[in-house]
């Protein structure tokens, strides 16, 4: 197998028609069936709360029957976990399974840290929307993980205050901007929402909705298009609202932001399906006053949303029991009992479509008891999630976003210039790492 990062990942991403890729050949064990006969013990690195309780169901049921025991090792999430996985892989002592965010998969694949489990996950593909499944295949015939949870984006608003100020629930971004300006005229001390320059995942999801594909391949080279027309449109839109003072420009998840939501100083929030949990803590006094609607569209004829967050269960190339690990990964993310437990213990919104309106999701969140069709509507929105296009250094792009957009939001300066900085930083890092990048 080629040993440069460029060749490892480009071969994987480009060779859809080749069936088993070079990476898949490296990542699959020829001795799976032999290695998985008899008692098998697997280790699963995960950060989701309560995962050990979910895994206990496996160990007492399917796992006991198949003599496959899984032990959860609680980890930090995000870049910290990715770094730990890669460090363990270099030492050839990684775990059998890892909870991997979708945007981290290309990095793990390019470092040959996760295996192709396409031959071991049965009919798992049929359980997921196409756009979700694409995130674990990277557009190839290989399967690098089983989807676990997703974060389709939605629009949240204070229904009572929208009525009070005569605002229309926006179906387009133009209407969203009109609402922001109208609210400022009627109540200068209030804001429709804020642009949070420390939430790169939110911006990435908005760009995806607009049609952006930040990382793609061209021949045997990567193409980076963070500053493409779609993303420029998103940056210009939000930068324009910040510059004119139509919305706030403070970060989210601070005491000040919580207070703004709880007191009605901010009356809307562009977020994802997991928002009820955040609102329960951030704005407890406004329970039952919020409503959820689809994300505004760039054109009235469109029906698409972005994604903010989500993770999968991947099998590592270090595992000596890849088939057994893949069987557990499929059970964890498709079995009804497991999905109910994940919802109860870990608070996830399942990627599996059959679980999005049943079990824990058969009734609306307690915070949204005023909207009984919350999860029915959420499931419909989830089907419209735009496909993503992640690359091998998302962490660098996100860090650059925080720095460049943070300064632009604070100074109310040009967001498109910040976008160019994000593009330049990402390309420079890829070249430094040895990836070939198309100009």
Express each pLDDT in 53-81 by its tens digit.
Answer: 999 999 999 999 999 999 999 998 888 99
Q: State the pLDDT at residue 77.
A: 86
Q: State the pLDDT at residue 79.
A: 86
Closest Cα to residue 143, out of 160, 123, 161? Answer: 123
pTM: 0.89
Closest Cα to residue 141, out of 9, 331, 12? Answer: 12
For residue 380, give Cα distances in angstroms to 77, 126, 224, 294.
29, 17, 31, 9
Task: Give yes or no for a contact between 51 and 313, defined as CB atoms under 8 angstroms apart.
Answer: no
Sites in the chain below the pLDDT cut of 50: 1-35
Q: State the pLDDT at residue 19.
A: 27
Helices (H) and strands (E) in the chain, counts: 19, 9
Task: Give yes or no for a contact between 27 and 116, defined as CB atoms under 8 angstroms apart.
Answer: yes
Q: State the pLDDT at residue 181.
A: 98
Task: Characterize 101-118 residue by residue with b for buried, 16 or more Cβ atoms within 10 angstroms of its Cβ, and e for exposed.
Answer: bbbbbbbbbbbbbbbbbb
Cα 226 from Cα 173, distance rounded (Å)? 21
Task: Retrieve residue 16's tokens.
Answer: 């859809």
Q: State the pLDDT at residue 37.
A: 60
Task: Retrieve residue 77's tokens.
Answer: 């999430």
CB neighbour class for 390 (10 Å; exposed up to 12, middle 13-18, buried from 19) = buried
Q: State the pLDDT at residue 113.
A: 97
């Amino acid at each position: 197998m080629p040993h440069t990062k460029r060749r490892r990942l480009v071969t994987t991403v480009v060779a859809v028609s080749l069936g088993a890729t070079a990476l898949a050949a490296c990542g699959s064990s020829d001795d799976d069936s032999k290695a998985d006969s008899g008692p098998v013990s697997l280790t699963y690195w995960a950060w989701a709360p309560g995962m050990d309780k979910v895994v206990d169901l496996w160990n007492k049921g399917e796992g006991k029957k198949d003599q496959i025991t899984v032990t959860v090792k609680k980890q930090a999430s995000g870049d910290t976990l990715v770094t730990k996985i890669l460090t363990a892989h270099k030492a050839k002592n990684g775990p059998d399974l890892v909870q991997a965010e979708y945007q981290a998969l290309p990095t793990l694949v390019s470092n040959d840290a996760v295996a192709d489990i396409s031959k071991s996950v049965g009919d798992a593909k049929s359980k997921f929307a196409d756009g979700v499944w694409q995130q674990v295949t990277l557009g190839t015939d290989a399967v690098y993980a089983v989807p676990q949870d997703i974060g389709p984006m939605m629009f949240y608003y204070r229904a009572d205050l929208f009525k009070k100020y005569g605002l229309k629930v926006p179906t387009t971004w133009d209407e969203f901007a009109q609402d922001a300006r109208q609210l400022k005229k009627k109540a200068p001390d209030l804001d429709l929402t804020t642009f949070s320059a420390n939430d790169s995942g939110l911006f990435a999801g908005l760009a995806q909705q607009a049609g952006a594909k930040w990382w793609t391949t061209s021949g045997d080279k990567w193409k980076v298009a963070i500053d493409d027309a779609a993303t420029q449109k998103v940056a210009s839109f939000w930068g324009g609202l910040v510059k004119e003072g139509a919305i706030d420009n403070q970060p989210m998840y601070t005491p000040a932001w919580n207070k703004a939501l709880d007191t009605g100083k901010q009356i809307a929030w562009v977020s994802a399906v997991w928002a009820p949990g955040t609102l329960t803590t951030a704005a407890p006094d406004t329970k039952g006053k919020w409503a959820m609607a689809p994300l505004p569209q760039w054109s009235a004829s469109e029906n698409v949303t972005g994604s903010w967050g989500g993770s999968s269960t991947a099998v590592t190339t270090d595992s000596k029991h890849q088939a057994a690990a893949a069987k557990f990964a499929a059970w964890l993310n498709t079995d009804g009992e497991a999905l109910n437990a994940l919802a109860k213990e870990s608070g996830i919104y399942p990627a599996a479509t059959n679980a999005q309106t049943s079990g824990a999701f058969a009734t609306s969140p307690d915070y949204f008891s005023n909207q009984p069709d919350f999860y029915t509507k959420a499931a419909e929105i989830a089907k419209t999630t735009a496909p993503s296009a992640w690359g091998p250094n998302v962490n660098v792009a996100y860090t650059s976003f925080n720095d460049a957009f943070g300064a632009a939001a604070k100074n109310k300066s040009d967001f498109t210039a910040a976008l160019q900085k994000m593009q330049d930083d990402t390309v420079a890092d890829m070249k430094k790492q040895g990836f070939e990048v198309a100009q």
